[in-house]
Amino acid sequence: MKIILAGLPKTGTNSIREALTMLGYQVYDAENNFEHLHDQWTKIMTVGGTADDFREMYKDIDATCDVPACHYWEEMHKAFPDAKILLMVRDTEEEWLGSMNLQMRMLSTCGLYSAISRLSPHCSKLQRFLNNAIRIAFGSVPISPWETYVPNNQALRIAYRNHNARVLQVAPKDKLLVYKCSEGWPKLCKFLGCQIPDDDFPHKNKKGEILKNNMNDTSPGYRQIKREITVSLCAFVCGIGYLAYVVAHASRIIY
């Protein structure tokens, strides 16, 4: 691993993932960690892990971001002491809090997400994984599509402050960059020793648009979700058709 992305969710994790990908790095985000390292991360979030676990998990990966990885940045740096640490932050704590609550509220009130969670076992499994990761990072913040999201702003603020303060206190100063995605390419590329690309710096998941974007995702995981939705809907339609046939047939027998 070359870069440890220590920024919490809603500090530009999707943007920095895309930016690093454009620079040629292989980056695992939350969905990649779920798809490829589900069992390892479940063990770590349940009973803990070792430096050897992280070295084995990320020996061929350049960087990882978002939950649950950002919460374990310190343990990961022990496994990869030469890795650089990127702490993404927002302009203000209130800006981060508002963005975090907006994302969580959209997840809990999105009817489409709720339906998908019911129709796709893979999506339901992903939701449980993310729930566990968010509870690890923030204490207890439900993102169930079946429950109304009630934010605990005090707990979120404390989690944000404590996380950032720990990074600033412990991370080696010569390997740490505190970064806002609004600063674009120059500061990031200087820190990484990369040439600035000709393309504009990417800005992803503005105002929670990730829900809409995921509907067009072509990754294997989302293709599996779409297949499971199709199968579930077909089974539901066939079941309704069979039930209608049985009722109609029974009615003819009675009369």
As a whole number of angstroms, the distance between CA 76 and CA 63 comes to 11
Task: Assign domain 3-216 to its CATH architecture.
Answer: 3-Layer(aba) Sandwich (3.40)
Nearest CA-CA partner of 136 in 18, 254, 49: 49
- How far, in Å, are 79, 102, 106, 130 from residue 140 at the CA level? 28, 17, 17, 12
Per residue in 95-147, pLDDT (tens digit) is 999 999 998 887 766 555 555 656 667 777 888 898 889 888 887 665 565 56
In sequence order, what are the beta bridge partners of 5? Answer: 86
pLDDT of residue 123: 73
Percent of the chain surpassing pLDDT 70: 71
3-state secondary structure of 27: strand
pLDDT of residue 130: 86
Count other C-beta atoms under 10 Å from residue 233's C-beta.
Answer: 12
Confidence band for 245, pLDDT divided at 50, 70 and 90: very low
* Position 225 pLDDT exceeds 70: no
As a whole number of angstroms, the distance between CA 108 and CA 147 comes to 6
As a whole number of angstroms, the distance between CA 21 and CA 9 comes to 18
DSSP sequence for 154-187: HHHHHHHHHHHHHHHHHS-GGGEEEE-GGGHHHH
* Position 23 pLDDT exceeds 80: yes
The structure tokens 């566990």 sit at 132
Per residue in 152-200, pLDDT (tens digit) is 899 999 999 999 999 999 999 999 999 999 999 999 999 999 999 999 9
Residues 70, 141, 47, 26, CA torsion sign: negative
Per residue in 58-68, pLDDT (tens digit) is 999 999 999 99
Q: Which tokens go with 251?
A: 């009615």
As a whole number of angstroms, the distance between CA 29 and CA 236 comes to 34
